[in-house]
Structure 1
Amino acid sequence: MAAGSVADRLRELAREHSVPGAQLAVHGPQGGLSAAVGVVRAGAPAPVTPETAFPYGSVTKAFTAAVVARLVADGDLAFDDPAVDYLAEFEGAEDERMASVTLRNLLSHTSGLIADHEPDDSANADPARYAASAARTGILHEPGSAFSYSNTGYVVLGRVVEAVTDMTWRQAVERLVLNPLGIRPCFVDGGGAGGRALADCHAVRHDTGRADPVGLYLPRSWAPAAGLAGSADDLVTFARSLLGAGPGPALLDPEVREALRERVPGADPFGMADGWGLGLGHYGSPAGDWLGHDGTVDGGTAHLRFHPGNGTVVALTTNATAGTRMWADVVDALREAGVPVGDSRPEVPPPTGAEAVPDVFGDYRNGDTAFTVRRAADRPAAGLEFTDGSGLRADLTVHDGLVFTARRTDADEAPYLGRFVTDPASGRVTAMQLAGRAATRVSA
């Protein structure tokens, strides 16, 4: 692949999806290339450069996992240690199962902790106070028995890092990961940016394709789950270090690197990935599993994939909600060019006929997050709709096998993929799994 042709194709896809700015970096056995296109803010002249920082969203979790892995390599932690061994805040938790939550559970989203805990004083970024508040929420299922994506769990991991190192999470990720790799620290709250431009975020209207700047909201305490920013080139540097193939010293011993990659039994992230390790998703391809992570924020996306067999790394950053759709096209373009990038694309069964839609109506809850499935009374042609307390509204289609798709009505995003879960004994729908998050049915 020639750098010029890659930039042209990236520019074409960004225009097609109304993405104001993007970066794409690819590194393989024959070398690497990098492209940056578009602008930092729609309607403004400042161009995206290879140094421009984009919010990573949940790709931050892979960096937090690397910090934990470094502490494991140094003998300060062990993956199977209970979190309560390091957190006084977890002692005497209201749910006794909290005492058996291990660092492995937290890293692999099998802890049962709720997805998105926000304490009443969410403006306060004190990790100890956050952990104490999380300990009062209870858990969804027996630790290690099922997958439920949890930002809460990664904030708790940040608190574990703080307790063990006597550093803040930010200091730890800088000193243990970013600085050794030569990556200039940048965070979405502006700290540590060091003069780097941070791309603005944009929401792309589904009906007009217009990209409008939007503010990025992230509770301050959530930094270990989604607070990092950087470039696509930075992501390639990070992934190469996890492969033990970076230009500088490897961050981790081979044994610890292998532990991060191993699939965790019971971690079934339906609709997100094909499996999960410790901080890394598994994404299938004809060339075998790729590892990586996806991240979304209010108006931006980041995507990272790397292949442990051949050492190929691919990273895309965008500053628009439509970046998720653009990523799918980037994957297709790279596959056509001979780079079989891994991406989870479960086959969606045929839609269930309107007359055969099972009883899935009602409210589903994961902590403070409540989802509602109902008929769209004001839009009969749309059939069912899916809403939550944040204002999200999506048209919902039920498919065979209780799989469902939900497409937002207010933004041009790829549809969410989920499934309803039944009780084996009664056959009744008792939960849903959406974007990897499990939610229990609380009313019909």
Structure 2
Amino acid sequence: MDAHLTTRLTAAARDHAVPGAQLTLHRDGRTSSVVTGVTRAGGTDPVTPETAFALGSVTKAFTATVVAQLAADGDIDLDDRIAEHVPELSSPAAPELSSVTIRQVLSHTAALVADHELDNHEDASLIRYAASVANTGLLNAPGTCFSYSNTGYNLLGRAIEYVTDMKWRAALENFLLRPLGIEPLLPQDSADRSRPLATCHTVRPGGGPAQPVGLFLPHSWAPAGGLAAGADDLVRFARLHLGDHPDAEVLLPGELRAELARPAPGADAFGMADGWGLGLARYDSPDGVWLGHDGTVDGGTAHLRFHPASGTALALTTNAGTGTLLWADLVAALRELGLAVGDYRPGLPATAQPLPTDRAAVADRLVGEYRNGDTSFSVRSHPTGLRLSDGTGLVAELALHGQSVFTARRLDAREAAWTGRFVTDPATGEAVVLQLGGRSARRTAA
């Protein structure tokens, strides 16, 4: 099996111009770890099992687990209002936030804005971050719908600090990482190089070699996406959630493991997963539900899956944005081998529909400005169809599948397409909300 996995991983990395990757599979009581490539394009340092890769949003599963550990110890209750443990949210200027619960934040149903940032990206203070969030308001009534929020997980990091009287990083290391044998690494800290770190890369459409890019992540976003680790580490973490760890009941009791995995009310994670628990995504497969999380940064990807019914765990880390395409290839290959890995398949029609002749009708219904806190999307008509931009330089071509569902493909980088949809007013047929990458953005102007 190891030789076969190495062959498939190496071939897929070559096909998608991924300089380096790790793949770890735990199945039937045996763990197989394979690696390929180099840590930086054009370099000679090989990827090893010890190489750390930026995990992006997979970090959220770790933050959620520490929250669950605090709940197991009786330090918090998952149905507590988050403001009870984040005093900065108790400001009279933020009455909307007073009803938001920890459970809702964990499941992305708290109606918090998606991607709030401090003006100073180097500021790592979660106290100042939480105080700034107190001025943002809510998107809608908490608990009514899913909207993916980095902001919420940074607030959970602040709650961990408040409850433990430790920095988020120290709590993560002491309560979770070191007991699991994971050597922690935060790429944002340039002085922290306790293990080799893979460089991130972007790949342009139409081919060409991968180009190194700097990893950008605001320092105050560490609880939402700041961890780096390897595929072996992710499988160790998954085995804790599977109960396959000698200290599982001490580190994360079974009732809390079940609580994190259970589907959350209102968590319709369209475009991301088949459902959502508390910090864990749910993915359907022919063999039942898998749990896990995906992570992307500019120039890197991480994918984690585990299957409670069989005790199987799988992790992939890559140092290129095209790692999303590599992951899709590996899922298909493993399914051919009889391992039905859970992955989100939205079931779109095989081909997109061309825009109708009356483009003005499309413009009236869909084109406009959409906003979620500081995040804004602009949808515009284009000679080739519809295009979406977000003000950061991202431009994507939209392909409609039916009347409201679409796929968005970036024009500046070769990556897997995202799936999204327009939520329309039943009376008028006009779009009122754009859902993309799990984020819900309300239409503010046509």
TM-score (norm 1): 0.96
Q: Determine the C-alpha separation between the residues in 2 that align with 1:426 and 1:83.
A: 38
- Are 1:315 and 2:312 an aligned pair? no
Q: Determine the C-alpha separation between the residues in 2 that align with 1:179 and 1:306.
A: 21
> Residue in 1 aligned with 2:106?
107
> Residue in 1 aligned with 2:287?
287
> Residue in 1 aligned with 2:195?
196
- Are 1:39 and 2:41 an aligned pair? no
- Are 1:366 and 2:372 an aligned pair? yes
Distance 1:60 1:93, change over 3 A: farther
Distance apart, 1:247 and its partner CA: 5.1
> Residue in 1 aligned with 2:436?
434
Q: Determine the C-alpha separation between the residues in 2 that align with 1:16 and 1:398.
A: 27
Q: Determine the C-alpha separation between the residues in 1 that align with 2:185 and 2:197.
A: 8
Distance apart, 1:76 and its partner CA: 0.2
Work out whether residues 186 and 229 of structure 1, in 8 Å CA contact, stay in contact via their aligned partners in 2. yes
Distance 1:389 1:275, change over 3 A: same
Which has the larger displacement, 281-290 or 355-364? Answer: 355-364
Deviations 1:91-145 (A, max 9, x none): 1354532111100011000011111001223321111110010110011011111
Distance apart, 1:423 and its partner CA: 2.5
Work out whether residues 93 and 99 of structure 1, in 8 Å CA contact, stay in contact via their aligned partners in 2. no
Distance apart, 1:208 and its partner CA: 2.1
> Residue in 2 aligned with 1:351?
352
Q: Amino acid of the residue matched to residue 109 of structure 2?
A: T
Deviations 1:175-227 (A, max 9, x none): 01001111111111247855310000000111223200000000000000001
Gapped regions of structure 1 (runs ≥ 5): none
> Residue in 1 aligned with 2:64?
65
> Residue in 1 aligned with 2:391?
389
Work out whether residues 25 and 315 of structure 1, in 8 Å CA contact, stay in contact via their aligned partners in 2. yes
> Map of 1:229-308 to 2, 5 A cutoff?
229-246=228-245, 248-250=247-249, 251-308=251-308
Aligned-partner SS, 1:260: helix
Deviations 1:7-51 (A, max 9, x none): 111101100000000000000114110101000000000000011
- For residue 412 of structure 2, the aligned residue among 367, 391, 410 is 410
Work out whether residues 209 and 412 of structure 1, in 8 Å CA contact, stay in contact via their aligned partners in 2. no
Gapped regions of structure 2 (runs ≥ 5): none
Distance apart, 1:246 and its partner CA: 2.3
> Map of 1:9-48 to 2, 5 A cutoff?
9-48=8-47
Deviations 1:39-84 (A, max 9, x none): 0000000000011000000000000001000000000011100011
Work out whether residues 54 and 319 of structure 1, in 8 Å CA contact, stay in contact via their aligned partners in 2. yes
Work out whether residues 184 and 193 of structure 1, in 8 Å CA contact, stay in contact via their aligned partners in 2. no
The CA RMSD measured in Å over matched residues stands at 1.4
- Are 1:420 and 2:426 an aligned pair? no
Q: Determine the C-alpha separation between the residues in 2 that align with 1:397 and 1:270.
A: 17
Aligned-partner SS, 1:188: coil
Distance 1:139 1:285, change over 3 A: same
Q: Determine the C-alpha separation between the residues in 2 that align with 1:208 and 1:94.
A: 51
Q: Determine the C-alpha separation between the residues in 1 that align with 2:283 and 2:92.
A: 36
Aligned-partner SS, 2:222: helix
Q: Determine the C-alpha separation between the residues in 1 that align with 2:262 and 2:190.
A: 34
Q: Determine the C-alpha separation between the residues in 2 that align with 1:190 and 1:99.
A: 33
Q: Amino acid of the residue matched to residue 329 of structure 1?
A: D
Work out whether residues 93 and 136 of structure 1, in 8 Å CA contact, stay in contact via their aligned partners in 2. no
Distance apart, 1:375 and its partner CA: 1.7
> Residue in 1 aligned with 2:175?
176
TM-score (norm 2): 0.96
Distance apart, 1:346 and its partner CA: 0.5
Q: Amino acid of the residue matched to residue 327 of structure 2?
A: W
Distance 1:93 1:339, change over 3 A: farther
Q: Determine the C-alpha separation between the residues in 2 that align with 1:64 and 1:375.
A: 40
Q: Amino acid of the residue matched to residue 281 of structure 1?
A: A
Q: Determine the C-alpha separation between the residues in 1 that align with 2:296 and 2:183.
A: 21
> Map of 1:114-263 to 2, 5 A cutoff?
114-190=113-189, 193=192, 195-246=194-245, 248-250=247-249, 251-263=251-263
